[in-house]
Amino acid sequence: MSLKVENLDVSVGTKCLLSGINMECPSGSFIGVIGANGAGKSTLLNVMAGLNAPNSGSVNIDSKNIFEYSASELSILRAVLPQHSDLSFPLNAIEVVRLALSLSAMNVSQQQELLTDCMSRFNVLHLANQNYLTLSGGERQRVQLARVTAQLFSNQHRQKHQYLLLDEPISALDLYQQYQTLDALKLLAKEGIGIIAVLHDLNLASLYCDHLVVLKHGYISAQGSPKQVINESSLKSAFNIDVWLQAHPDTQAPFITPRISQ
């Protein structure tokens, strides 16, 4: 059971955004998508989410093309965190998370249990009764993470195989919250949820992801385990940057330090 992308091509006009993308996210794995700005990471995530249609190729969840699912069926199988989530009217943080339960038939005590669970996973339970619009960028990001998690948990006949697609889920977080949030995501993966996250911090991606996909100008320039993917030549190719490569003292995962060019 997996979310599988096959021979994906996406272009707008004559501009090719993605070409020949093949990747797979088995349930329970944590996949990081990395690459330079404009490499096509968000485009890839939007196509996987079903928001944009590919020109050719397919995205399948459990061997069925995502466009054959209805919007509500798809919402049970996968949840999506876009790069930006704005709210135009005041709502309390807990109401924002509760929006994920709008289409489910849960009673109040079930909702309470679920909301408490999801909000504590991302350290936002103490913000429950605060106006979302007054929260900081990082707090909003964690509230939104709690919301998309609640969406996956909201179905009473919960699917065994569910997927979370996250576009830069930790971009606004402080150092402590980055690790906390990635721990929480890792836990979700252990519980069987397949996670695909666009990440910019290569060291965090190396520490937490099981598998990395490196995008460059719309094609996959490398993919594999962090040990296979994170090396001097691949980073030079994808990011045009020279790095020192070390092993993380705790986990032996590859750990990079960019060199300063004079």
Partner 1 sequence: MQSNQAILSPVALELSQSRRPLFIVLLALLFLACWLGVSLGAAKFDLVLPLETLVMTLGFNAEAESTAIHNIVLNIRLPRVLMGVLVGAALAVSGASLQGMCRNPLADPGLLGISSGAAVGAVAMIFLSQKLFLVVPSLAHIGPYAISIAAVLGAAITAFAVYHLAQAGGQLQVPTLLLAGVAINSLSVALIGGFNYLADDQALRQITFWLMGSLGGSSWQSVSILLPILGLALWMIHKRRHAINLLLLGEANARCSGVDVDRIKLELLWINALIVGVAVAFTGVIAFVGLVVPHILRLYSDTNYRYLIINSAMLGGALLVLADTASRVIAAPAELPIGILTSLIGAPFFIALLIKQKRALGFVL
Where do contacts with partner 1 occur on this chain (CB under 8 A)? 46, 49-51, 70-72, 74-76, 78-80, 82, 85-92, 94-96, 98-100, 102-103, 108, 111-112, 115-116, 119-120, 125-126, 128-129, 151
- If the CB atoms of residues 193 and 256 are measured against partner 1, the closer one turns out to be 193
Residue 79 Cβ, how far from partner 1 at the closest point, in Å?
Answer: 7
Instruction: Decide: helix, strand or coil at residue 58.
Output: strand
Dist CA 16 CA 92 (whole Å): 41
| CA distance readout (Å), 231 to 213, 216, 234 | 13, 15, 6
Residue 33, SS3? Answer: strand
Contact 87, 30 (CB under 8 A): no
Q: Which residue has the tokens 């402590």?
A: 176
C-beta of 209: minimal distance to partner 1 in Å?
22
Min separation Cβ 89 and partner 1, Å: 4
139: helix, strand or coil: helix
Q: How far is the CB of 117 from partner 1 (least distance, A)?
A: 10
Shortest Å distance, C-beta 137 to partner 1: 16
What is the closest distance, in whole angstroms, from the C-beta atom of residue 196 to partner 1 in the complex?
Answer: 13
Residue 185, sorted as left (phi over 0), alpha (psi -120 to 50) or beta, turns out to be: alpha
DSSP string over 61-112: ETTEEGGGS-HHHHHHHEEEE-S----SS--BHHHHHHGGGTTS---HHHHH
Nearer to partner 1, 82 or 138 (CB): 82
